[in-house]
Structures are given as C-alpha cells and as structure tokens.
A and B are shown apart, each in its own frame.
Chain A
C-alpha cells in the first residue's frame, strides 16, 4: 500500500516525478537561474516602486529616468489618442494624439506646483528634481495603462458612439489617473524609506510623508483624470 499518492518533489523548480516520465538526472536537475541582466526602465516602472525610487535617488540616473518617463508618457498617450480617434468617424489620429499628449503634460505641470507647496507646508520638502522624476515616473505608469486600455473605448465607440464610447474614454482616463496617483503615493513612501538606509524615518516623519503622499495622489489623479477635456482633444 502506498503511503502517499502525491508525487515526491525535492525542489520546487525540479521536474516532478511521474510514472509517465523516465527517471533521468538531467530532467530532475533544477532549472538554472536566468540571467536577464539589469531590469529595464519599463520593467521597474511597472513592477517595482522600490527600484524606481532607487533610480530617483541616484543623481546619475535621474536624467535618464526623466527622459525615459517622458518618452513613455508621450508614446502611451499618443497611442491611446490615435486609437480612439481611429474609431470615430472623421477623427484625425495624428491631431488627437498630439493634443492628448499636450493635455497630459499640461496636467502634470499643473500638479507640480501644488505638490511642491504641499511638501513645504508639511515640513517635508521634496527637492524639485526628485519631485519631477517621481511625478513623471508615476504618470508613465498611468500612460502605459492608458495605452493598454485603448482597445476598450475603440470597440465600444464602434458599437455605441453616444454613451458607451465616451463613457469608456472617460473610464480609461479615470483608471489611468487612479493608477498614476496611487503609484505617486507608493513612490513617495518608498523614497522616504530609502533616502538614508542607515536611519529610518521616525513616526512623525512618516506622518508628514503620508500627508504629502496623499495630497500628491489627489493632485495627480485629479489633474490627469480631467486632462481629456482640455483643448477638445477627443471632440
């Protein structure tokens, strides 16, 4: 009588023993670690706020981060604008893409001042270069999400251009804005934790960071979420 019917496994990454597979040391060898090299900026933006915060804190990486995030915002938003414009009769993809990018950049520039002022008022000043890098990284996440959501307003606009299409457009911007805002909040917390690895922030520091992070989340979400109305980009 068998004590257990579960296949014995010695390593989580090893091929499980099976009556249908001949025993072989080669097959049972654990899969080697893949050497993927350093993570790309898009990987870090999407997967790890901690890694993005490290890039923000490294002055030698900051310009690349800012340029990369700007490029991502331009590409993601333009892609979204062009796809949505293609669904509308008489829509011009190029003009809509250009206006959509302009709108989002304008919205981010509008959020910069209030966030900086809020950080000063809460006695947790964020240097402008770090603030810009953080803001653009957060908005880049939202723009990538916007590009990924583009097929939804495209399809719905084709089905119903009175309600479903425009609502999907507004919904896509709302989802993107919420993602940008919450990423901004997480990045600010990660920055405060990593700025000096030897001394962790005190409870009072954390409380001040939390105030700035929440206010930044609201400013970023509000301005980018409403940016679709500016200059009639999607009309």
Chain B
C-alpha cells in the first residue's frame, strides 16, 4: 500500500469518526458539533478518544455490567490453570459483590433523579463514594488478570509473580469479608431499629 492508499484509509476512518461524532452528538468542549466533526475528520487519532471520553453521561448500567462480565470471563479463562478451587470461589464471590454494587449505583442514580433538593447533595456524595469503591474493585480485578497473564509467561521458579497474585487475592478476600461484616451489621442494626420502633 502506497502513500495514497494510506491517506485514503486515514480519510475513510476520519469520515467514520466524524459521522459517529455527529450521530452520537458528542462535542469537544465548547465547540459546536459540526466544527468538532470537521476537526475529528482531520485529526481523529488525537481527538476521537477525547470526544468519546467527553460524554457527559455517566456510564450506563449495561456498560458497567458488561465490563464486569468481560473481566470475570477473562479471569475464568486465565485462572483455570493457576488458581485453586477456593481462590476461584473467592473470585466468583467478588464478582457477585461487584454486580451488587453496580445495582446499588443504578438505584442511587434513580434516587438522585427523583429526590428533593435537600437530600440530593447527600445522595450525590454517597453515589460518588460508591462509584469510587466500585472502580477500585474493577481495578483490582484488572490487576489480577494482568498478573495472571504475567504468571502464565513467567519462569516456573519465579516466585515474585505468584506472591503478587496471592497478595491481590488476599486483598479481594479481605474486601469480601468486609462486605459480609457490613451486611451482618446492617442486618443487626435493622432488626434493632425495627424492635425499637415496635416497642
């Protein structure tokens, strides 16, 4: 492929990116959409990621769930040879926990949309902290997937990678235990609250 061919491919991709910008109504900062589409057509390697990331919408629940599912599938595939039965169960439990926190984020989004102004700020703070927690869990899974890939290609006697995988699994275990304890506390607190109301 000569220089003309490369230029044609570049422009075809640019046209696709510009059309995507117009259809999805993604702008670049204060630029109007036609101007953003024109710039994306010429400079798509630099501007397309910014246009995609600049979406004002928060990630939809479907997107988050898909991310968790794809990570879980990847871990199941890579971890088959390197993780013990108990460790695999631990991971499944953690994935369930992430799905639960995803549902909680969706509930919070719905609550924020309909909540009165007085509590909206507090709900927003709660959502931010839940989203941060959720993101940390996903990062932990991503890191584990990366380390397992490293372990797959590392020498038999290199203990460093295995140790790091075990440290990550210990963190996941601790988070699982913590969430279990929180649930139990919540349950005990709820029962105490209901009995106090009844009395």
Q: Spell out A's residues near B (CB within 8 Å).
A: 59-60, 62-64, 66-67, 70, 105, 108-109, 112, 123, 125, 127-133, 136, 196, 198-199, 204
For B149, list chain A residues within 8 Å (CB): 123
Q: Which of B51, B146, B164 contacts A63 (CB 8 A)?
A: B51
Q: Which of B31, B39, B45, B50 contacts A112 (CB 8 A)?
A: B45
- Counting chain B residues whose Cβ lies within 8 A of the other chain, the interface size class is 20 to 34
Can you report 19 residue pairs joining A to B where beta carbons are below 8 Å apart?
Answer: A60-B54, A62-B50, A63-B27, A63-B50, A63-B51, A64-B30, A67-B31, A67-B47, A67-B50, A108-B46, A109-B45, A112-B45, A123-B146, A123-B147, A127-B49, A130-B53, A131-B49, A133-B50, A136-B46
For B182, list chain A residues within 8 Å (CB): none
A38–B133 Cα distance when bound, in Å, is 31
B54 and A59 form a contact (CB under 8 A): yes
A125–B149 Cα distance when bound, in Å, is 14
Q: Which of B43, B45, B53, B147 contacts A127 (CB 8 A)?
A: B53
B62 at the interface (CB under 8 A from A): no
- Min Cβ gap B147→A in Å is 7
- Min Cβ gap B121→A in Å is 19
B173 at the interface (CB under 8 A from A): no
For B30, list chain A residues within 8 Å (CB): 64
Q: Which of B31, B43, B53, B147 contacts A62 (CB 8 A)?
A: B53
For A136, list chain B residues within 8 Å (CB): 46
For A127, list chain B residues within 8 Å (CB): 49, 53
